[in-house]
Homo-oligomer: A and B are copies of this chain.
Amino acid sequence: MASKERIQRLKDDTRCNILEASLSIVKEEGWSALSMRKIADKIEYTAPIIYEYFSNKDAILQELTRVGYVKLAKKMQEAIVDLTDPAEQLEAMWLAYWNFAFAEKELYQVMYGVQMNCCAAFESGCPDIAGPSDMLWNKIEELVPVEKRTEEYIDTKYYTFWSVVHGLISINMTRQLTTDELNRQVLKDAIGGIITSIKN
């Protein structure tokens, strides 16, 4: 009777091993290197075994995203346990979110679809790539009052802009649960806010 449970526990174990092996491969060699055969190697089985625990490779990724969200929620809960002021709590939660993204970089990547496909394009120093960012940077510079016009200050504003816009775009691309009006509202609000903060 109890042997059934032992066997079930063993099965759960290898299921867990598959996930751990996957994550360790990704941490060592990146998402593109993750293959069923490599996972099998790491858990000392052959590839078809994995299909008794996950219906396909995508199911492994899905489970890793789920695990990621559970971990993130835990981190956020821990972050606010010693705080009472809601404003402080909210800031602490976002900071926990931020820290999680870099502490569990690989999980964040699969959770939110952030990957660096061809970063070679940036290392190659192609001038066209700098075009748009230069345009924006220069226009921000123009707006900043002369007495504040340091490179560091403009950088900060530039990245704040970019973060808001790119963040909103990528959120819209990976999920599609927001309405167009809401997007316009957020975009207009955020951009307007930053612009007025620049001018004063």
State which residues 83-100 of A face B: CB under 8 Å: 86-87, 89-91, 93-95, 97-98
Q: Determine the interface band of chain A, counting residues with CB < 8 A from chain B.
A: 35 or more
How many Å from the CB of A23 to the closest CB on chain B?
Answer: 15
Evaluate contact between A109 and B167: CB separation under 8 angstroms.
Answer: no
Given contacts A62-B124, A91-B192, A112-B170, contact A135 B186 (CB under 8 A): no
Taking the complex as formed, is A119 at the interface, i.e. its CB lies under 8 A from any CB of chain B?
A: yes
Which of B116, B140, B167 is in CB contact (< 8 Å) with A173?
A: B116
Evaluate contact between A114 and B193: CB separation under 8 angstroms.
Answer: no
Which of B121, B162, B195 is in CB contact (< 8 Å) with A66?
A: B121
Q: List 25 A-B contacts (CB under 8 A).
A: A61-B117, A70-B131, A72-B131, A73-B128, A87-B195, A87-B199, A89-B139, A90-B139, A90-B140, A91-B192, A93-B136, A95-B191, A97-B136, A105-B173, A108-B173, A109-B173, A113-B119, A115-B117, A115-B174, A155-B182, A160-B190, A163-B168, A164-B190, A166-B171, A170-B170
Told that A114-B173, A115-B174 touch, could you supply 6 new A-B pairs with CB distance under 8 A?
A65-B129, A70-B131, A90-B139, A93-B135, A113-B116, A116-B173
